[in-house]
Every structure is written in C-alpha cells, then in structure tokens.
A and B are shown apart, each in its own frame.
Chain A
C-alpha cells in the first residue's frame, strides 16, 4: 500500500499527521508530506485508510498493491 499527499490540495489541517505520525510529517508551515516514499507497512494500513478518509481537502490518495 502507498499513500501520497497532493501538495496542491493540502491546506495544512494536520489531520493525517495527528492520525498517523508514522506515515506523515508536517513542515514548519503545517503542510504534510508522506514519509518513507509513501510506503505503508501492513500494520499501519488501517491508519493510512483513516488518514485518507479524514482529510477535509481530499488531498491524500491511497494505492493498494495489486
């Protein structure tokens, strides 16, 4: 599973960072980016889904491994 934050859509609500600090980081301005190239370890898949589902700006996309 992979997550990706679209920097054009992120407005710094920080919901993803609050839910899954293992997967996202925020810069000094509050803009989020994915950690580890977006790779989601199996144990964090549920958190990744929640981060996606709670972003008010629909800025995070999730790609399931095929």
Chain B
C-alpha cells in the first residue's frame, strides 16, 4: 500500500481515505459547504466533490454528463476498452441508460417489499442466534459479533453461497471497496490473480449442476430480449450483490448501535416506545448514511463554475447531502422522531439502491432484537472504535458494555 501525504487543503487536495475523513468527515463537509461547495483533488488522477444536497442531487440526476461506468474511485481509472459497454463491470450499478433500465428491472422484484418481507422471519431468527451466541458476556464488539454477520448471512442465503464462506466474502469486499488507495498496479495485480472470479465460477458450476431457488440460479436462467444474460453480466451482478449488500448494511447497523451506545436518552426512548422505530431508522440512515457513490465525467462541461473534463472522477457523497443544513433543519442533530426526513441515504434518481428495502428491514430487525435483549448498554472503549476507509463508511469495531 502506498503511503499518502496527509491532506492539508480539503478544497484543492481532498482524499476520502485520509484518516481525518475516515474518523470524522462531517467538519470537513461543513467547511467546504461554506467555502467551496465543489472541491477538487489531483489525487486519483483528478476528482471532484460536491458537498451540498443540491450539488449531489444535480449529479445523481444527470446521466448525460456523468457515467456510472465506474463507481469506486481508485488509482485504477477504467479505460473505455476495459469494460464491456454498456453493461459495465457490475450491472446495473455500473450501467448507463438505456441498458441500465433493462438490467435493473430484471433484479427489482427480488428486492421488492414483498420478497423482502418474506426474509424477515429468517433475519429475526438470525439476530437472536447471534445474541444467544454472545451469551452472558457483558463486554464484546457489537460491530464484529453482531452487526457484521446479519447482512453477510442474509446475502449468502439469497445468493445461495455457503455460509461458511463468510471470511472469504470479507476478503473480497476489502479488496474491492476498502483497498482503494492501493496503486493502479496493485489493483490490477489483485484482479489478475483471479481469486474472485475463481470463487464465482465455483458457485456458478454448483448452480448449473444443481439449480436452486436463489439469486444465482435466477441470474443463470434470466433472459433479456429472449437471450440468456452474458456470462460477464451474471458474474458482475453476483459481485455487485455480494459487495454492495454486506458492508453497507453492516455499517448502518453498526453506526446505529454506536450512536445508541453514547446516547442514554435515545436508548431509553427506543426501548420504551417501539413505535419510534419507524422514524428512528430513517434518522440513523440520514445521519450515518454509509454510502458515497462515484461517477466519471462523460464529456467536458462546466458544472457550477467547475471545468469538468471527460474522464475526471466525481465523488458523490450522499452522507454529506444528508447533513446539509440548507436542506435539513438541525442537520447535525440526531432526532429519532424526525417526521420530515427526505434523506438520500439510498441515492437519488435511476440508481436508487436496489437493496434499500432489504437494508431497511435488516436494520429494523437488528435494532429491534438488540434493544429487546439489551435495553441499556454503553460504549466500553471509545478509543477502540475504528471506521472503515473508502466509500462505505461505518464502524468496524464498537466495543460495548451491557448494563441491563
């Protein structure tokens, strides 16, 4: 891993992997909103950063000037020739119109409210199994021992991957979305090593030999315009579901527990007013939105006075939009009963997170079961809390002490 110089000027040299951003990005965004609402950096070969709700929304809705061909900013900038257009490497998140709508419509029913409701009993049983496993211990890591395993096992189940492969998933996820400050050569070497492809091939083989009622068999049998999906499409979507469905929700559950561990009044309210959960979940999603997306500039144009050039990166921080005081009253205050909350945690426009219903169900069930089991708890060691680097932000260590 390359050592990076620390950021000294956030408006002209930002870096979302800088320890300051990773630990506490909110003051950085506040300063930029006041001084430079679209920041720039020469790092990663050049990238832009809007930090207002208005700026983030404008980019999310503009599929003419911005392409989703790559959505993870790294030193490895995709060239046109490297990705199978118009599908992109992980459809539909990396697809543009008009192909995007086809690939998305195919997947939508699997993540619609009804299908997600059907997964709730499994998720609730899983949460209780994890809590049972913690047993009588009163000090443990809520991120690693609880939050992490919930989306990991739900996604493994949906894809029909062996649950025992959980550690391997973690490895792939780290490779794709956390090690983004690796050099271009290091990232290429990782891809070339073919570990992820070999893993997916093995799962595909199993499913071809013995089809099942899961998303992998669904993708293998799915058709677009009367043709089976291109093998790259199947593989890309499998990667997307595995990568995007796990760290994101893990982050949301972990950040919610991290918040509650430090706010006794909120803990008390949630434990005594179950009906508060509806607005509480949306507020946790707003205040601690895990996901920052990215785009590539599709053609030269002027955006709010910024001369954007084809091929520039653009980091799309939905978490910053969610803290914009121009858009939200008391944006930095976490109010579990916030009734009006038009947050953008799941993005805006055609790329709205396809797993939003699933994520919301997992977050709700995880918090409901946690609060039932542990109505009172606190952060045991604030200094030991660590946050993930990259475009999915959440606490990876939340040492808690159970009080009752």
Q: Are B342 and A26 in contact (CB under 8 A)?
A: no
A50 to B356, CA, bound (A): 20
Q: With contacts A13-B352, A56-B344, A56-B348 known, is A29 near B339, CB below 8 A? A: no
Q: Are A53 and B109 in contact (CB under 8 A)?
A: no
- CB neighbours (8 Å) of A56 from chain B are 342-344, 346, 348
CB distance from A22 to the nearest CB of B (A): 15
A44 to B129, CA, bound (A): 39
B278 proximal to A (CB < 8 A): yes
- CB neighbours (8 Å) of B113 from chain A are 14, 17, 26, 30
Q: Are B357 and A11 in contact (CB under 8 A)?
A: no
CB distance from B283 to the nearest CB of A (A): 12
CB distance from A47 to the nearest CB of B (A): 11
SS class, residues of chain B in contact with chain A: helix
B284-308 near A? 1/0 per residue, CB < 8 Å: 0000000000000000000000000
Please report the total number of B residues contacting A with Cβ < 8 Å: 23
A9-56 residues at the B interface, CB under 8 angstroms: 11-15, 17-19, 26-30, 50, 53-56
Residue from B114, B341, B350 within 8 A of A54 (CB atoms): B341
A17 to B108, CA, bound (A): 16
Q: With contacts A14-B357, A18-B278, A57-B348 known, is A28 near B108, CB below 8 A? A: yes
B105 proximal to A (CB < 8 A): yes
Q: Across the two chains, which residue of chain A brings its CB closest to B108? A: A29
Q: Across the two chains, which residue of chain B brings its CB closest to A19? A: B278
Q: Are B346 and A30 in contact (CB under 8 A)?
A: no
B100-138 near A? 1/0 per residue, CB < 8 Å: 000001001101111000000000000000000000000
Select the residue from B112, B282, B348, B349 with max chain A CB neighbours within 10 A.
B112
CB distance from A29 to the nearest CB of B (A): 4
- CB neighbours (8 Å) of B167 from chain A are none
Q: Are A50 and B357 in contact (CB under 8 A)?
A: no
Q: Are B357 and A55 in contact (CB under 8 A)?
A: no
Residue from B112, B278, B340 within 8 A of A30 (CB atoms): B112
Q: Across the two chains, which residue of chain A brings its CB closest to B61? A: A57
CB distance from A10 to the nearest CB of B (A): 10
Q: With contacts A50-B339, A53-B340, A54-B340 known, is A28 near B350, CB below 8 A? A: no
- CB neighbours (8 Å) of B357 from chain A are 14, 30
Q: Are B350 and A26 in contact (CB under 8 A)?
A: no
B350-368 residues at the A interface, CB under 8 angstroms: 350, 352, 356-357, 360
Contact sample, A vs B, 7 pairs, CB 8 Å cutoff? A13-B352, A14-B113, A18-B360, A28-B108, A28-B109, A30-B108, A30-B111
Nearest 7 CB-CB pairings of A with B: A29-B108, A11-B352, A53-B340, A28-B109, A30-B112, A28-B112, A56-B342
Chain A residues within CB distance 8 Å of chain B: 11-15, 17-19, 26-30, 50, 53-57
